[in-house]
Chains A and B, each alone.
Chain A
Amino acid sequence: MRISVKNSIINVLTWVLVLLFFFPVFWMFLNGFKPESVASSIHPKLFFTPTLDGYQLAMDRGMAAYMQNSFMASITATVGCVLLAIPAAYALSLRKVRKVESTLSFFISTRFMPVAAVVLPLYMILKNLGGLDNIWVLAIVYMSINLAITVWMMRSFFLEVPFEIVEAARVDGAGLFREIVRVVLPIVLPGVAAAALICFIFSWNEYFLATLLTSNVARTTPPFLGSFVDGRGQFLAVLSAAATLAVLPVIAAGWIAQKQLVRGLSMGAVK
């Protein structure tokens, strides 16, 4: 009896803490549906007549175009990353490569390299070549940021492929391409999907390079949101609506891929 009371208390406490922690997200969601005068009032309201004014205003500011750019950059980066990472991860797991460890640490070192170390030359070169404010260029830069994590994560899934199956395919005379596409990929598909999601999430959320390398044409959602910082007057409702739209794709992706998320974030070190 005493134990069950203690248990219930901890359960309630846990939920209180979780809800407190989640509150900023909940509040953002709520504020997005409030009329501006209610959202920016000094008396916070939990109940109100919902309106889509905030969303309308966000759209009027060109939100749709920025989101489209974000999708183009993130999806291109993800597809490119996956295409480069599959052969690399395959070689690093199911083939005998000399110096696997140094190759892996090379990859990890590029992931750990601060963006600050590369941004100036990238900016100067792109400026001279006219590559600034180009969504495809941004996508390629995002590929370079996320490739290492994608390779690492995929490798951890590839390592779990039963070697007997690969060997059997080789004995049957399957060529390299057949072996990867027909034998290995179907087994590691969940892992590839998870790695792709991680790549998508990081590309979608990136702010620093997006701010520097794009201006009008190729501007993505994060710098657009950032432009609210210099806003005047009341703008909490429209900001909340815009932020809700901006975070929705990644939250959906992350909730779906919850099980694989930890593995991606730890670069495959934690399962």
Chain B
Amino acid sequence: MTTTATKAPAPPVDPAKKKVQKKHAWTARGLLLPAFIFLIVLTQIPFLVTIGFSMMNWNLLYPAQRGFTGLDNYKTALSSGALWPSIVATVLITAFSVVLSLLLGLLFAILLDRKLPGRAIARTLMITPFLIMPAAASLIWKYSMFDTNIGMLNWAFAQVGLPKVSWSTEHPMATVVIVLTWIFTPFMMLILLAGLQGQSKETLEAAQVDGAGAWRTFTWITLPHLRMYIEIGTLLGSVIILQVFDPIAILTKGTGGTKTLAYLLYERAFIGLNVGEAAAYGVVTVLLTIIVATIALKTTFKVFMAGGSR
């Protein structure tokens, strides 16, 4: 980074220069404005409207009864027993998927950081699951891997004499987590691989000279170095998986403890036609995301800013 360039011109207070600087500031703002306005109109304002919706009694089947109800929708959400299991499902699915894909991603990153015949091809194959649209990935897993009759998992089980498993009905949570882990392992691997490649060779060699074994080198040098990459992976992975919808809709339709907040909202709004209650779930989703993101962001934001501001 060229830190010297970050210094602003020294401030001898010359009114003409000041004027120019002011003009520059307005140019910069003008350049930012289109993106800014666009995002406010399409994300911030709709969110405020969602909060408004969530305080209304609004069922599309009974449009005449539409009106303000304060926090009734939230009370209904709590008392109907739908909200809490849904939060649990969302958090569990996110936590399991993030941790598993992080571990697998670390394993693959380490394996593919080594010298390996055909390494470039191996890496290319590895990133593919993340590129495949989640809807297609879920369908492929559902019908060609998990299926009771023609799924390859059960075929493999049969080969070693294990009984058939009806994955999506017997283990709905595992089904969703397996697919999400499969999708997000490449994501974690890419981030961690970048971390491994950024390790200084000298430090590693010094450790070797000092007689540190592979395990010690890994736990004492590599892992601390990877910390920021693990944090980035965790933060981004959690925030994306918290919103997950496609695998749920395709694999389990929210049955068996997999009804995430996104799916619950979809069900209440577009099948139950209860806009008010659905909006409340939308607001809860935001709160949950903020909680999870703040926990992760507290540690990671510094890292994001490390790119430096000029």
Contact = CB atoms under 8 A, between A and B. Distances in A.
Given A114-B243, A116-B261, A270-B191, A14 B112 contact: yes
Interface in B256-310: 261-262, 265-266, 269-270, 275, 278-279, 281-283, 285-286, 289, 293, 301, 303-310
Contacts of A266: 191, 194, 232, 236
Nearest to B270: A212
Interface in A124-143: 124, 140-141, 143
Interface string B100-142: 0000000110011010111000111111111111111101111
B78 interface: no
A191 to B, nearest CB: 13
B242 to A, nearest CB: 7
Contacts of B250: 226, 229
A97 B25 CA distance: 6
B144 interface: yes
Contact of B32 (A27, A103, A105): A103
Interface in A68-93: 84-85, 87-88, 90-93
Interface string A1-44: 00000000011011101110111110110010000000011101
B310 A240 contact: no
B50 A118 contact: yes
Interface stretch (B68-76, B169-177, B182-190): B182-190
B286 A117 contact: yes
Interface in B216-271: 229, 232, 236, 239, 242-243, 245-246, 249-250, 261-262, 265-266, 269-270
B40 to A, nearest CB: 9
Contacts of A251: 128, 131-132
A263 to B, nearest CB: 8
A186 interface: no
B143 interface: yes
A162 B3 CA distance: 11
Given A28-B144, A115-B262, A110 B43 contact: yes
Contact of A31 (B8, B125, B144): B144
Contacts of A25: 125, 128-129, 132, 140
A246 B134 CA distance: 11
Contact of B28 (A15, A97, A225, A261): A97
A246 B36 CA distance: 33
The SS class assigned to the A binding surface is helix
Contact of A117 (B47, B182, B310): B47
30 contacts: A13-B111, A18-B112, A18-B126, A21-B185, A22-B126, A22-B128, A24-B137, A24-B141, A27-B140, A28-B140, A84-B34, A101-B305, A105-B301, A110-B39, A114-B261, A117-B46, A118-B282, A119-B265, A120-B53, A121-B50, A159-B310, A162-B2, A207-B135, A226-B246, A239-B140, A240-B140, A251-B132, A258-B127, A261-B190, A262-B191
4 cross-chain pairs, A with B, having the tightest CB-CB distances, nearest first: A163-B5, A144-B42, A205-B133, A121-B49
Interface of B: 1-2, 5, 8, 21, 24-25, 27-29, 31-32, 34-36, 38-39, 42-47, 49-50, 53, 107-108, 111-112, 114, 116-118, 122-137, 139-145, 149-150, 152, 155, 182, 185, 187, 190-191, 193-195, 198, 229, 232, 236, 239, 242-243, 245-246, 249-250, 261-262, 265-266, 269-270, 275, 278-279, 281-283, 285-286, 289, 293, 301, 303-310
Interface of A: 10-11, 13-15, 17-19, 21-25, 27-28, 31, 40-42, 44, 84-85, 87-88, 90-98, 100-101, 103-108, 110, 112-124, 140-141, 143-144, 147-148, 151, 155-156, 159, 162-164, 176, 201, 204-205, 207-208, 211-212, 221-223, 225-226, 228-229, 235-236, 239-240, 243, 246-247, 250-251, 253-255, 258, 261-262, 265-271
